[in-house]
Amino acid sequence: MTSASWSRRQVELRRIALPLVSPFRTSFGSQTDRDILLVRAEMVDEKGERTEGWGECVALSEPSYSPEYVDGAQHVIVHHLLPRLFDAGHLDPATVAPILAKMHGHPMAKGALEMAILDARLRADDRSFAQHLGASRTQIPSGVSVGIHDSIDDLLAAVQGYVDDGYVRIKLKIEPGADIDQVAAVRTLIGPDKPLQVDANTAYERTDGEHLRRLDDFDLLLIEQPLAEEDILGHARLAAEVETPICLDESLVSAATTADAIDLGACEIANIKPGRVGGYLEAVRIHDLCLDRGIPVWCGGMLETGIGRAANAALAALPGFTLPGDISASTRFYARDIVTDPITIVDGHVTVPTSPGLGFEIDHAFLDEVTTHTELHSTPHDRR
Ligand code: NPQ
Ligand code: MG
């Protein structure tokens, strides 16, 4: 990859509103729509060639999953991050994080910018995300995340539909009062051999060890993020108390925190979400350290559009991703995607995109239809 500094830089921020095909309920709330911030980075390279790249910010509309939320992400990008990227002399994908490092936190905002610049660079270089990140497979197994339902009958109907769609692994969202009976019923429905796991999104307390140990009867792959995101010690104690492996999601905000959580015995399996850790390059570093320490990893999902979904598929094709991820077909969440060739599932698998960059084309007519806001920012002058 060439490491040129780009001259003119322009960034378009777009907010889109996409309705979900059905409400998605987790322990932190129920959502019917996704309000997403997209980043389009346009650059002119040293040869005068124009190239653009797309990034997707995974922040939700409220700070309910993580401290970040989409209005805040947009604000920090406009007022604190973009000015530093526009001022930087040398800009390539690997320099985005170091340039922004003095601004604390905001990994989802930073990750979206890095993603757009990485996509632009790779499209210009005719290389795919999969190639650049180090993918070793062309297809990846596809898992599905199933929301909390009001009744067990409704839940079983939903799960049966996803089994019929071919998903190779089921993940159930759980919370106190909607856990043991739900898991027992789903295990009976899908049989003993279908991979099954649960995600609590921080809904339990340190004192819930004895209760969560009842999940050991159902041969689950893992229990994801039972306790608060800051509670690494609590997860370590729980991991000693419960046989089912403890997997962290919200707690893992960087490679450094992941390494520490592993050393403390709090993270037996890792959910890697590029947005949550500041981008795809940090996600690869987490993959590398987990592979080195024998910790299985899988790729999480944030109800991404085709943009984030394509990049996640590329990441999940790395050799350490030994468990099926939350990379389902776009139709799991959206009736229509903003890319022309959205991710589909065939025989339980997703094909890793191989075209340059993220490997898709935007459906501009539909994108415009769902856009709620657009703003353009650019370098005040051509850089030399
Ligand atoms: C998780 N994702 O692993 C997240 C949580 C999450 C696929 O389970 C709108 C509504 C957007 C709920 C994004 C999955 C969301 C959401 C992510 C939940 O914890
Ligand atoms: Mg999770």
Q: Please tell me the predicted confidence (pLDDT) of residue 2.
A: 47
The proportion of the chain whose per-residue pLDDT surpasses 70, expressed as a percent, equals: 97
Q: Please tell me the predicted confidence (pLDDT) of residue 37.
A: 98
- Please compute the mean of the pLDDT values over residues 280-309 and round it to a whole number: 98
Q: Where are the alpha helices (DSSP H) in 254-363?
A: 255-263, 280-293, 306-315
Question: What CA–CA distance (Å, rounded) separates 1 from 258?
Answer: 29
First vs last Cα of the chain: how many Å apart?
20
Q: Which of 1-15, 27-41, 273-287, 353-367 has the lowest mean pLDDT?
A: 1-15
Q: Which of 1-5, 131-135, 154-158, 207-211 has the lowest mean pLDDT?
A: 1-5
* Ligand 2 centroid from CA 104, angstroms: 23
- Please compute the mean of the pLDDT values over residues 346-350 and round it to a whole number: 97
The proportion of the chain whose per-residue pLDDT surpasses 90, expressed as a percent, equals: 93
pLDDT in tens, 169-212: 999 999 999 999 999 999 999 999 999 999 999 999 999 999 99
* Identified catalytic residue from 102, 110, 171, 173: 173
Residues with CB under 5 A from ligand 2 (ion): 199, 224, 249
Atom of ligand 1 nearest to the CA of 147: 8
Q: What are the φ/ψ torsions at residue 282 (nearest 5 degrees)?
A: -65, -35
Q: The pTM is what?
A: 0.96
pLDDT in tens, 258-267: 999 999 999 9
Q: Please tell me the predicted confidence (pLDDT) of residue 46.
A: 72
* Sheet containing 223-224, strands listed edge to edge, beginning at the edge strand earlier in sequence: 143-146, 169-173, 196-199, 223-224, 246-248, 269-272, 297-299
pLDDT in tens, 226-243: 999 999 999 999 999 999
| Residues 373, 156 contacting (CB under 8 angstroms) | no
| 273 in catalytic set | yes
* Ligand 2 centroid from CA 202, angstroms: 9
Q: Please tell me the predicted confidence (pLDDT) of residue 384.
A: 43
Question: Which residues form the pocket of ligand 1, taking CB atoms under 6 Å from any ligand atom?
Answer: 24, 26, 31, 34, 60, 65, 145, 199, 201, 249, 300-303, 326
Of 57, 302, 312, which is best to mutate to test ligand 1, by the most ligand atoms within 8 angstroms of its C-beta?
302
* Statement: residue 45 has pLDDT above 80: no
- Please compute the mean of the pLDDT values over residues 118-139 and round it to a whole number: 97
* Ligand 2 centroid from CA 249, angstroms: 5
Q: Please tell me the predicted confidence (pLDDT) of residue 3.
A: 45
107: helix, coil or strand? Answer: helix
* Ligand 1 centroid from CA 301, angstroms: 7
Atom of ligand 1 nearest to the CA of 201: 19
Q: How does residue 253 score in pLDDT terms, banded at 50, 70 and 90?
A: very high
* Statement: residue 6 has pLDDT above 80: no
* Statement: residue 147 has pLDDT above 70: yes
Q: Please tell me the predicted confidence (pLDDT) of residue 47.
A: 79
| 171 in catalytic set | no
- Please compute the mean of the pLDDT values over residues 244-271 and round it to a whole number: 98
